[in-house]
DNA sequence: CTTATGTTGGAACGATCGGTTCAAGATTGT
DNA sequence: ACAATCTTGAACCGATCGTTCCAACATAAG
């Protein structure tokens, strides 16, 4: 007997990710997906159950990559850490071979139409992004880099909004230079005085 | 002979707007639209040609309403004008009977899949929103409220990003209070010194 | 009333959708 | 070689999609 799966999970998930990334959930057809995954219809359903199961696994993978990337950023000050995090997504979004925009932001745009598990993983992803930002801000308060009266929740929402803008605005004409200068403006929201 | 249309354009467009607003372009079916418009399939096609023609007209109407609302805001200083504009969309988005989110932002999320005319009117809408913001900022420079070295383009992108965040973040859990406090943070991007 | 136009509901079109099934071929361990 | 498993391609299902067409009805001007 020989029981091993002959295709690579990471490869087929990557293929499906490109499709969902560009088309969203509803508009991505099974034929689109099989073509991009290099996998037969039968194997897709055997491995992932149905379209929603595939979407769930793909978006979870996408989320973990983005969150991992966010966690990698380190800098001397928390302020520089947030700024570096934002700028990282400017440069790594522009000029990539990947689809434009952000799969997670796109999923949130159609969140009311997503099936339950898809909706859950989308909400979880944004919640964890915000948790990372909140964590940095709280560390800054503990550090003394930020006065304790600072509105950490509001700042976390602000920087999450900026992050999503960085992903979205290129689709409506923003250049990398536009975004980098936008980040400079957005960082002014960081309270100056201690 | 009697040549007048017996239904009200504004009414049927409003009905279609609610559907496109909530479901986007692709996921909105003709049956969804006719039901919400109170119009027969035949009349829809006679009046609007096809689904794309209807979408085009609906989004154009939506855009003109949003732009009109943006143009109404007046305040003593340009800074207060921007802030009032942002806060206006916080309160008028929350607690409304209208669908959540923003039809235009949603259209931009699926912009790569939109038919040509739909894509064009979506890009035009965001461009004109940004033009309004840029106009206020340029007026501030002319006024002396903003130093002439200020990066007006970057600030316009920034506030457009905040505006879109105000429309989107409620769908992932942001409350009206969160958004109002976020606006306070975002407004700090306005350069302080003259 | 007659005539012209607006409107309707339903039937029908071909196409595509997500999902299931199955027989044939490819692969791997023993 | 054998046997077990993976994979494939294609056929097929019922449902829905956007779109077209048409006969029946409503409306209003002449």
The tens digit of pLDDT for each residue in A134-191 reads 999 999 999 999 999 999 999 999 999 999 999 999 999 999 999 999 999 999 999 8
pLDDT tens across B129-187, in order? 999 999 999 999 999 999 999 999 999 999 999 999 999 999 999 999 999 999 999 99
How open is the CA angle B137-B143-B147, to the nearest 5 degrees?
A: 65
For A77 and C26, how far is CA from C1' in angstroms? 57
- Cα distance between residue B95 and residue B170, in whole Å: 11
Q: What percent of chain A has pLDDT over 90?
A: 89
Q: Which nucleotides of C are covered by protein (CB under 7 A)?
A: 3-11, 16-23, 27-30
Q: What share of chain A is helix, strand, coil (3-state, %, to 5)?
A: 70, 0, 30
Q: How high is the mean pLDDT of chain B? A: 94
Tell me what pLDDT residue A29 has: 97
Window 76-105 of B: residues touching A by CB (8 A cutoff) are 99-101, 105
> What's the confidence (pLDDT) of residue A1?
57
Are B82 and B187 in contact by the 8 Å Cβ rule? The answer is yes
Higher pLDDT, A101 or B118: B118
Considering only residues 22 to 81 of chain B, which have any Cβ-Cβ distance to chain A shorter than 8 Å? 22-24, 26-27
Q: How confident is the model at residue A2 (pLDDT cuts 50, 70, 90)?
A: low
Q: CB pairs below 8 Å between A and B: how many?
A: 153
Q: Phi and psi at residue A10, in whole multiples of 5°?
A: -60, -40
What is the per-residue pLDDT for A194?
61
Give residue B29's pLDDT.
Answer: 97
CB atoms within 10 A of CB B122: 29
Q: How confident is the model at residue B4 (pLDDT cuts 50, 70, 90)?
A: confident
Higher per-residue confidence, A161 vs A194:
A161
B97 Cβ partners below 8 Å, 6+ apart?
Answer: none
CA angle A39, A44, A50 (to 5 degrees): 150
CA dist B190 and A23 (Å) reads 36
pLDDT in tens, B47-64: 999 999 999 999 999 999
pLDDT over 60 (residue B17): yes
Task: Tell me the CA end-to-end span of chain B in Å, nearest whole number.
Answer: 68
Is A164 exposed, middle or buried, given 0-12, 13-18 or 19+ CB atoms closer than 10 A? Answer: buried
* Confidence label for B24 from pLDDT (cuts 50, 70 and 90): very high
- Chain B residue numbers with beta carbons less than 8 Å from the beta carbon of A161 are 161-162, 164-166, 168-169, 182, 186
State which residue has its Cα closest to the C1' atom of C21: A42
Distance from first CA to last CA of chain A, Å, rounded? 68
Helices and strands in chain A, H and E counts: 9, 0
Q: Average pLDDT for residues A118-127, to the nearest whole number?
A: 98
| Per-residue CA distances from A111 to B24, B63, B94, B171 (Å) | 11, 22, 17, 8
**What is the per-residue pLDDT across A81-109, written as a single tens digit (0 to 9) for each?**
999 999 999 988 877 788 888 999 999 99
B1 pLDDT above the threshold of 80: no
Query: pTM for the full model?
Result: 0.94
Backbone phi, then psi, for B112, in 5-degree steps?
A: -70, -20
Check residue A62 and give its pLDDT. 98
Asked whether residue B18 carries a pLDDT value surpassing 90, the answer given is yes
Give the torsion through C-alpha atoms of B10, B129, B121, B168, to 10 deg. Answer: -80
Alpha helices for chain B (secondary structure H): 9-23, 30-37, 41-48, 51-72, 78-93, 103-109, 116-143, 152-168, 176-187
Using alpha carbons, select from A4, A6, A3, A2 the residue that is nearest to residue A40. Answer: A6
Instruction: Flag if A168 and B109 touch (Cβ within 8 Å).
Output: yes
Tokens describing residue B179: 């958004």
């Amino acid at each position: 007997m020989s029981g091993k799966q002959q295709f690579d999970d990471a490869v087929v998930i990557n293929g499906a990710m490109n499709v969902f990334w560009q088309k969203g959930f509803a508009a991505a057809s099974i034929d689109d997906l099989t073509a991009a995954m290099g996998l037969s219809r039968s194997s897709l359903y055997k491995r992932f159950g149905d379209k929603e199961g595939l979407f769930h696994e793909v978006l979870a993978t996408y989320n973990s990559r983005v969150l991992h990337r966010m966690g990698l950023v380190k800098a001397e000050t928390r302020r520089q850490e947030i700024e570096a995090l934002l700028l990282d997504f400017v440069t790594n979004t522009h000029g990539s071979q990947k689809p434009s925009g952000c799969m997670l932001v796109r999923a949130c745009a159609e969140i009311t139409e997503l099936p339950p598990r898809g909706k859950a993983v989308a909400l979880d992803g944004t919640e964890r992004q915000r948790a990372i930002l909140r964590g940095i801000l709280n560390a800054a308060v503990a550090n003394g880099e930020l006065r304790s009266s600072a509105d950490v929740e509001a700042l976390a929402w602000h920087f999450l909004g900026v992050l999503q803008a960085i992903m979205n605005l290129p689709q409506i004409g923003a250049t990398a230079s536009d975004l980098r200068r936008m980040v400079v403006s957005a960082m002014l929201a960081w309270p100056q005085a201690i």
